[in-house]
Amino acid sequence: MKEAVVSELILNAFEARTKSYCPYSGFAVGAALLTESGKIYRGCNVENSSYGATICAERCAALKAVSEGDTVFKAIAIVGAPKKAKEVKDYAYPCGMCRQFLSEFASDDITVIVAKSIDDRKIYKLSKLLPEAFSSDSMK
């Protein structure tokens, strides 16, 4: 993956994070999802007073893409930190549910970028973060 694309995704994830609705946890997350079409979909975590109804940033971005007919995912960048934090001090990894959700739309594999800044990031393949994922192949 080209460095410019990685940087663009991280910047978009930071921008998405500013929209986070997290009055309960106070932990703001932003995600930027690149699809095969070349479009970038932003998502933020959207919490709910009924906690189980909360949607993570990653699935927010994924739902936006799929609902627009973009169903082949290439990469996603994720940034998370307390809402009031001036800087991101840790990597925010996707939760188990989001790893499973993203795997549904991986034609090959998905690049997962977790970042503290443009320069301070780690890059994985989803298959490494979710080995032996349950998929439609599992039901054959």
Give the residue numbers annotated as catalytic, written as ranges. 58
> Rounded to the nearest whole angstrom, what is the least distance from the CB of residue 97 to Zn ion in the complex?
5
Provide the residue type at 81 as one letter. A
Q: Which is nearer to Zn ion, 7 or 27 (CB)?
A: 27
Helix (H, G, I), strand (E, B) or coil at 32: strand
Q: Which of residues 75-114 bind Zn ion (CB under 5 A)?
A: 95, 98
| 29 near Zn ion, judged by CB under 5 A | no
What's the start-to-end Cα distance of the chain, in Å? 33
CB-side exposure of 84: number of CA atoms within 13 Å? 3
Which residue do the tokens 């594999």 mark?
A: 109
* 95 or 118: CB nearest Zn ion: 95
* Site membership for Zn ion, residue 126 (CB under 5 A): no
Q: Give me the least distance between CB of 6 and Zn ion, in Å please.
A: 21
Find the shortest distance in angstroms from Cβ 129 to Zn ion.
12
Q: Distance of CA 136 to CAs 95, 103, 105, Å?
A: 21, 10, 11
**Interface with Zn ion (CB under 5 A):** 56, 95, 98
